[in-house]
Structure 1
Amino acid sequence: MTITYKSREEVPLKEKWNLEDLYINLQKWEEDLKMIELLANELKTFDGAIHNGIQLYQFLTTQEKLSYKFNHLFAYAMLKVDEDTRDTTSQSLLERARALSVKISSATSFFLPFLLSLDEHTLKKYIAEEKGLTYFEKDLFESFRYKKHVLSKEQEALMSQFGEALSAPANTYAMINNADIKFGEVTNESGEKVELTRGMYSKLIEDENRDKRKEAYKAYYKPYLQMKNSIASTLAAAIKNNVTTSKIRNYPSALEKGLFADNVPKEVYENLIMATKKHIAPLHQYSEFRKEKLGLDELRQYDMNVPLVSGVKQVIPYDKAYDIMLRALAPLGEDYVNTLKDFKKARYFDVRETPGKRSGAYNLGVYGVHPFILLNHQDDLDSLFTLVHECGHGVHSQLSSQYQPQITARYSIFVAEVASTVNEVLLINYLLDNEENEKVQRHLLNHFIDKFRGTFFTQVMFAEFEKLTHERAEQGEPLNVEVFNTIYETLLREYYGDTIVADEEMKYGWARIPHFYRPFYVYKYATGFASAIQIATNLLKGNEETLYNYLEFLKSGSSDYPLELLKKTGVDLTSPEPIKNSLAKFKELVEEFSSL
């Protein structure tokens, strides 16, 4: 049984991350804040004063020094807030860090318009004058790609002032979703009514008792229905902000703005949706099979996560989960496994759910320090997969930081999901290969199908929701509760079929998705999953070339565009093959499971 902690103080030290690796005390944080403010003021003095390579180099090195310090400062504030989102002291640190971010943006807003006012010949002359600029050369010329999307110096200065206001919808939703939200009540094992938590929900929605699932489902959605208008307002504002910014910056659409940094053609996004819908039949069949296997007259949303193989619910304590992970990832080599052993010893993790702690899980790589990994571990199979997933991100961060200079150490989100999902595919293969009990094997197969469904199909559905809602905003059409409900419910039917009977809560799924406040992000889970299936398949064949290329990919940071980095691993997402292969794999899994 999972241990429930009533406060953060109860959690053992070894299961809490060590933020002293960032700042030994608050005084050091305050000292860095003052230093960053001085550096920001110094950067301002370069406005109109860059006339040669030496001055350009001085500006860029000062900016990189500031960036290094600010990333540490912001990471500390964010991690402190996420430990307990109710803590006003931590909130204050984060607010000050955000305000400082706006000040930095304002101080440097002149630079991109200045850079793009130069011709290529002048920039090359500056680089010839100051050899140190070769470090920045690729980045400088990459900026020219943005030329038609950068405004005048005065307009950029004005836009930088709106940074905090434009992020307000996302920040407001984060506070609603993490700090303010109160779920309904559920009945505990003693028959008492207790307030539902997210951690409890993830367990109860898989309970074999249908009444418990229904009760948890209703309690979980209760606050989202109560706050539907407020949440619809924050989401509509976030979408409209993005659409407006895209227009101001001369992008053909918000979608193309979202794909521009990664240099991904919109066809990759659109083909992902089209290919998935074209081959959606196995997912519909799986819904029908689920209804039949559960012996239900009506399949409801709260029936979609209960395991179809009963009596094999596994309790996997955190330490055991970690050991399983180390064995499962052996195909990635001894160095990879040893890196993860070091992660645990050095307390890079914050493991347990506690009141006020941010929900979910993430990895935050901090250049010059190390990754910090937030978990809400529940001692179950899902938590094992989450651990393996986030450690994929963590090692990716670690290796990119070790092998890349600061300027290219931070990898694109597009490639991030590859590293995490390769780990998940290796884990499921390890678990299936090392399980002799046929019933447990069926349970694991069922679990992987549901994981596939959530990481691939659901994310593609979310990606289409984003596309459709942004297109409505671009056409000047209203966005409100009814519009979001209609779009979301229609997509649910298209993706999951008519087998599922709709209830009032089902169409409000959009209200609980924080990723919608990071536009055109979720599709990367699906492309990452498809890429990972291909890479992991080759790794499991013992292909040494694949292993070498994949580890090189993990060390590459952002040294090339994401699609190019993936091509080096043997995955070409500009072709439909990786997507088609993944969909064929899903069909194969459903057929195998159905036959059992």
Structure 2
Amino acid sequence: MTTHEKREDVPKQEKWDLTDLYTSEDDWQKDVDDVLAIANELNDYDGNINDGASLFAFLKKQEEMVYKLQHVFAYTMFSSDIDTRDSRAQQLKAKASQTGVKVSEATAFFMPFLLTLDEATLEQYIQEEEKLGYFENTLWKSFRYKPYVLSKEKEELLSQLGESLSAPADTYNMLNNADIPFGNVTDEDGNEVQLTRGMYSKRIEDEDRDVRIEAYRAYYKPYVELNNTIATNLAAEVKTNTTLAKIRGHESALSQSLFGDNIPVDVYENLLAAAKNNIQPLHDYTAIRKEKLGVDELRQYDLNVPLVPEMKVDISYDEAYDTMLAALAPLGGEYIEVLREFRDKRYIDVRETPGKKSGAYNMGVYGIHPFVLLNHNDDLSSQFTLVHEMGHAMHSYFSNKHQPQITANYRIFVAEVASTVNEVLLIQHLLKETEDPKMRKYLLNHFIEQFKGTFFTQVMFADFEKQTHERAEAEEPLDANSLNELYESLFRTYHGPTLVFDDEVKYGWSRIPHFYRAFYVYQYATGFVSAIDIAMRILDGDEETLNNYLQFLRSGSEDFPLGLLKKTGVDLTTSAPVDNAMKMFSDTVDAFKKA
């Protein structure tokens, strides 16, 4: 593994070139000044948009400002993430944040104004000003919200209540990240120490079952003790969601949440139903896990320990990149050529160094290029991370290249498709190339665990969200007992009869922060099955699917997510994508059992 004690030791080719954004801080400051000047101009349009020309002038200036503001934010974010200890970078980041607040204040009037127009007036403005054709689709998308907008007085009242309405999420965030004291565990020297989240993630995967049990008990201890408090808090969050949906005239909190992406409620419900109809392979895998671990009773603290130890393979960054290029070759010459250039043009910050932000991400900057942050460790896990993030980066690259600024950003609903397509192609390539039975077994297990975490766990969470909101809408109680019973029931449904339940299982809902961003996690599952469906057809040599997929990458948000996916052959209004993915999961479980 290549390690670097100082950023200066990292080869130039493995570091971002931020001069692609700004060659100096003075250039950055000039854009900050421009953004603030434009924001002041935009503020003057409040009450003064009364025809097509003035509407276009506002929107055009706003787009110019957003372009510069994104660059301002990106530069400070990247500078800070390179070294989070850099005080100057933190100062610039704070200044960018303050600039963003002023922009929001200056443009806050526009959406309420737009939604006070009647349809005929908006149509008249568009007819008056030919240049508004560029913004027309976006204007009508925004106009969809009109039936659910309240009077000006009521909207202002809700706006004033914003901080109070977000209190449950804020409270949970503070409780979960700052105030929760985990129980004690024994360290390597035999001393009692308080468990941390970082320690837990490692200990729950330890081969020593006693280590796992001790960590499990200590981790769940505060959630058990605070069960009533957290239940009351989550109930407040759920009731806030259902009340706001009712006030605005939506049929349910679920339908309100899906409205922005134009997703029918049937898609959500069909996802849950299709998962349950295909649950047997997961139950089979749970039984295999019990057999492989050789335990009399399989319990929750046995679900994370690897069944196949990670293969200790030294894979240099260049080797990982070359393997990626080979694995993704089915995506065609243009895709591979662009991907090769990413390494050469320094779009990727590769190495872990002191102070650098952990993890990995991609951020596409319109008008420049994608920037990818890694903490590459020359191992198999890093190779999968590289392939995943480059999927996001290529999606950003093609969308930004082929779309105008207004439709270049893709929606969260489709965000994980490109990254997962890449991962599926990589794992199929590695399975095909390897002659090592241990490596093959490891790869099969890696994919099974990925499928379980990205699909089944997220669907289970989505099921929990749906049922809690339906209970609130039916005015049924949401207290600690009812939440515990519901979560335990769902855990049994998804994990099957092999698992023996400890008391802690039923408290699992209380440690999930995603429940304070309702009806979000299902998108992981829909994106995952969509990607598997696409990738397997590409591997089968389906040229039409390949061409449609590449067009999907170029499409940004020019259509709603379901429409974009349908053009690739994925129809999420049916159970077919889930059924196809589940067939692959079942085959992989069978192959693992025989390996």
Bin of the TM-score, shorter chain as denominator length: 0.7 to 0.9
Contact 2:279 2:494 in 1 (8 A): yes
**Alpha-carbon distance in 2 for matches of 1:480, 1:369:** 50
Distance 1:473 1:90, change over 3 A: farther
Question: Which residue in the other structure is 1:114 paired with?
Answer: 113
> In structure 2, what residue type is equivalent to 1:332?
L
Alignment of 1:538 onto 2:544: no
Deviations along 1:59-109, whole A, 9 cap, x unmatched? Answer: 111121222233333444555666677888767766665565554444334
CA deviation string 1:184-217 (max 9, x = no partner): 8878889899987767765654444444544565
Deviation track 1:296-351 (CA, whole Å, cap 9, x = no partner) reads 11223332233334584545454443332222111112322233333334444455
Note if contact 1:106-1:157 (Cα within 8 Å) is conserved in structure 2: no
Asked if residue 526 in structure 1 is aligned to residue 506 in structure 2, the reply is no
Residues 215 and 233 (structure 1), Cα distance of their counterparts in 2 relative to 1, 3 Å cut: same
**Residue 420 of structure 2 corresponds to which residue in structure 1?**
421
**2:270 maps to what in 1?**
271
- Comparing 293-302 with 147-156, greater Cα deviation is found at 147-156
Q: Distance in 1 between matches of 2:317 and 2:33?
A: 40
Secondary structure at the aligned position of 2:372 is classed as strand
Does structure 2 conserve the Cα–Cα contact (< 8 Å) formed by 1:98 and 1:164?
no
TM-score by length of 1: 0.86
Paired letter, 1:588: D
The amino acid that maps onto 2:461 is F
| Aligned residue in 2 for 1:305 | 304
Of all paired residues, the percent bearing the same amino acid is 61
Deviates more, 1:474-483 or 1:102-111: 474-483
Unpaired stretches in structure 1, ≥5 consecutive residues: none
Aligned pairs for 1:41-60 within 5 A: 41-60=40-59
Matches within 5 A, 1:20-169: 21-23=20-22, 29=28, 31-78=30-77, 101=100, 103-157=102-156, 159-160=158-159
RMSD of the alignment, in Å?
A: 3.9
Structure 2 CA distance for partners of 1:212 and 1:255, relative to 1, 3 Å: same
Q: Distance in 1 between matches of 2:423 and 2:319?
A: 16
Q: Give the drift of 1:136.
A: 0.6
Does the alignment pair 1:397 with 2:357?
no
The alpha-carbon deviation at position 263 of structure 1 amounts to 0.8
Q: CA deviation at 1:134?
A: 1.0
- 1:227-246 aligned at under 5 Å gives the runs 239-246=238-245
Following the alignment from structure 1 to structure 2, what is the Cα–Cα distance between the partners of residues 503 and 26?
57
User: 1:55 Cα deviation (Å)?
Assistant: 0.6
The answer to whether the 8 Å contact 2:311/2:380 transfers is no
Contact 2:21 2:75 in 1 (8 A): yes
- How far apart, in 1, do the equivalents of 2:344 and 2:548 lie? 28
User: Are residues 113 and 384 of structure 1, via their aligned partners in 2, closer, same or farther at CA, if it must alter by over 3 Å?
Assistant: same
Name the CA shift for 1:154/1:359 in 2 (closer, same or farther; >3 Å).
Answer: farther
Give, as a single letter, the amino acid of the residue that structure 1 aligns with 2:370.
Answer: P
Q: What residue in structure 2 maps to residue 368 of structure 1?
A: 367
CA gap of 1:583–1:42, structure 2 versus 1, over 3 A, is: same
Matched to 2:253, the amino acid is A
Offset at 1:244? 4.3
Partner Cα distance (1:263, 1:164) in 2: 27
What is the one-letter code of the residue matched to 2:529?
A
Shift of the 178–342 alpha-carbon distance from structure 1 to 2, 3 Å rule, reads: farther
Q: Which range is displaced more, 295-304 or 26-35?
A: 26-35
Aligned-residue offset at 1:168 = 6.5
Judged with a 3 Å threshold, the aligned counterparts in structure 2 of structure 1 residues 474 and 425 are, in CA distance, closer, same or farther, namely same
Shift in alpha-carbon separation, 1:514–1:354, aligned structure 2, 3 A: farther
Corresponding letter in the other structure for 1:412: R
Instruction: State TM-score, norm by structure 2.
Output: 0.86
User: Is the CA contact 1:410–1:558 (under 8 Å) kept in the aligned structure 2?
Assistant: yes
Q: CA offsets, 1:523-567, max 9 Å, x none?
A: 111111221122111111222222111101100001111111111
Find the aligned partners of 1:376 and 1:180 in 2 and give their Cα distance.
29
Residues 186-265 of structure 1 mapped to structure 2, 5 A cutoff = 205-214=204-213, 217=216, 239-265=238-264
2:456 matched to which residue of 1? 457
**Residues 204, 212 of structure 1: 8 Å contact kept:** yes
What is the distance in 1 between the residues matched to 2:86 and 2:474? 41
* Bigger mean CA offset, 563-572 vs 96-105: 96-105
Seen in structure 2, the aligned counterparts of structure 1 residues 51 and 145 have a Cα distance that, compared at 3 Å, is same
Given that 1:465 and 1:491 are in contact with CA atoms closer than 8 Å, whether structure 2 keeps it comes out as yes
Please tell me whether the aligned partners of residues 364 and 371 of structure 2 are also in contact (alpha carbons under 8 angstroms): yes
1:388 maps to which residue? 387
- Residues 202-247 of structure 1: CA distance to partner in whole angstroms, max 9, x if unpaired? 5654444444544565666677678878876775665455444433
Cα shift at 1:295? 0.5
Per-residue CA deviations over 1:402-449 (Å, capped at 9, x if unaligned) read 110011001111111211111111111001100112232122112211
Offset of 1:488 from its aligned partner?
A: 3.0
Residue in 1 aligned with 2:568?
569
* 1:500-545 CA-partner distances (Å, limit 9, x unpaired): 3334554454455444443322111111122112211111122222
Report the Cα distance in structure 2 between the residues aligned to 1:215 and 1:81, rounded to whole angstroms: 37
Moved more, 410-419 or 425-434: 410-419
| SS of residue matched to 2:47 | coil
What are the Cα deviations for residues 341-388 of structure 1, in whole angstroms up to 9, with x where unaligned? 333344444556678866654333232233333445555434432322
Q: Quick one: distance in 2 between partners of 1:543 and 1:270?
A: 30
CA–CA distance in structure 2, aligned partners of residues 356 and 462 of structure 1: 34
Count residues in correspondence.
595
Paired position in structure 2 for 1:439: 438
CA contact (8 A) 1:275 1:579 kept: yes
Inter-partner Cα distance in structure 1 for 2:171 and 2:78: 18
Provide closer, same or farther for how the CA distance between residues 221 and 315 of structure 1 changes in structure 2, counting only shifts above 3 A: farther
Equivalent-residue separation in structure 1 for 2:222 and 2:17 (angstroms):
34
Kindly provide the amino acid, as one letter, of the partner of residue 70 in structure 1: L
57-66 or 105-114, which moves further after superposition?
105-114
SS in 2 for 1:363: strand
Q: 1:562 to 1:243 in 2, by over 3 A?
A: same
**Counterpart Cα distance in 2 of 1:107 and 1:225:** 46
Residue 411 of structure 1 pairs with residue 414 of structure 2: no
Which residue number corresponds to residue 470 of structure 2? 471
| 1:282-301 alignment, distance < 5 Å | 282-301=281-300
Distance of 2:582 and 2:547 partners within structure 1 = 27
Look up the SS of the partner of 1:364 in the other structure. Answer: strand
Other-structure match for 2:558: 559
